[in-house]
Amino acid sequence: MRSPVVNSFVSTLTDKSGEKRFDVVTDGLRIFESRLVNLNFTPEIARLIVGRHTDFGYSKGKTIFRSGVPVDMLYCVQRGLVDLYAPTADSSHVLVKIAGPGDLLGNMDFGAERERSHHVWDARARSNCQIALISREHIAGALQTMPRDVLVQFFDRINAERSQQMNRWVRFIGLDYRRRLELVIGELAVRFGVVEARGTLLTPEFSHSDFAEMIAASRPLVSKLIAELIDRGFLIQQGRQYIVQTKFVRPPIPLPSLSRRRLDPVRDTKMIASRHAAIRP
């Protein structure tokens, strides 16, 4: 059992015998498209949004964008992993999130003037990755074709997600370093873990320095905490990877479900086609 994100970037993972264990590769845009449908977008509008994009490849360690750069494109991870950093006043940074296939890099404010909308994070390729860029104008045009009630629900969900993120950060700040590390590792296991007999294997490799950046602690302290978690049975180390005991892996709190409007595929497709020439028959 594995998450859609894991399916997207795990192409070949071998066991000790050398036999292939996982060989599933999924397009990150398809994950993003399915998320739009779950947000009550019609399949036609979801396909319209992801249908016009430009792909760019970035090698490991390359900068994708820096904080302060104007937001004129939506960045969607197709394949690979991307680190999102928050720069600090002392020129250091905090690893805010690791984005995988189907994730968006940063936020796009459709209500702000372009010169006032900027990226707040630095984005750097954690592995060789492929990023799909979708223009702001294209997305804004597609949103204009949506029924008003669905659009309202869409922005309600965005607000709910941002509130959930804020709640997570408030809770995170109040934790000591050990609990922060447990929380971060549990979240990584949900997003990038593969369930096996001993627990949940973290498929990406994370160094002690990575964990230190995630919890805003020193590397020596994280090394001490990792050793304690292994002694407690929270973690099992396997080479450069970790296995998290299943009982410590907790799924995120689900957002409130959207009320579903009654959809009429024929009516909605005709309406969309009349508003957007790109999908007229």
Q: How many structural domains comprise the chain? A: 1
Pick 258 or 60 by higher pLDDT: 60
Q: Does 83 reside within a domain?
A: yes
Residue given tokens 């994280």 in the structure block? 222
Q: Is the pLDDT of residue 18 over 90?
A: no
Tens digits of residue pLDDT in 144-166: 888 888 788 878 877 887 888 88
Q: Does 260 reside within a domain?
A: yes
Q: Does 52 reside within a domain?
A: yes
Mark residue 205 as left, alpha or beta (left: phi above 0; alpha: psi -120 to 50; beta: remaining).
Answer: beta
CA dist 257 to 38, 42, 153, 157, Å? 10, 17, 10, 9
Q: Is the pLDDT of residue 22 over 70?
A: no
Distance CA 135, CA 75 (A): 9
Mean pLDDT on 19-42: 70
Q: Is the pLDDT of residue 124 over 90?
A: yes
Mean pLDDT of the chain: 78
Q: Does 206 reside within a domain?
A: no
Domain housing 260 = 4-174+251-279
Q: Is the pLDDT of residue 126 over 60?
A: yes
pLDDT at 253: 53
Q: Is the pLDDT of residue 259 over 70?
A: no
- Banded model confidence at residue 15, pLDDT cuts 50, 70, 90: very low
Distance CA 105, CA 129 (A): 13
Question: Contact 39/153 with Cβ under 8 angstroms?
Answer: yes
Mean pLDDT on 138-142: 86
Tens digits of residue pLDDT in 69-120: 888 888 999 999 999 998 877 767 789 889 999 998 976 544 445 455 788 8
Q: Does 269 reside within a domain?
A: yes
| CATH number of 141's domain | 2.60.120.10
- Banded model confidence at residue 267, pLDDT cuts 50, 70, 90: low
Name the amino acid, one letter, at 184: V
Displacement of CA 175 from its chain's centroid (Å): 23
Q: Does 208 reside within a domain?
A: no
The pair of three-digit structure tokens given for residue 155, joined into one six-digit string: 């922005």
pLDDT above 70 coverage of the chain, percent: 75
Q: Report the side by side order of strands in the sheet with 73-79.
A: 54-58, 129-135, 73-79
Q: Does 11 reside within a domain?
A: yes
Residue given tokens 């302060």 in the structure block? 68
pLDDT at 35: 86
Q: Does 118 reside within a domain?
A: yes
Question: Contact 71/119 with Cβ under 8 angstroms?
Answer: yes
Tens digits of residue pLDDT in 202-252: 999 999 999 999 998 999 999 999 999 999 989 999 888 999 988 777 665
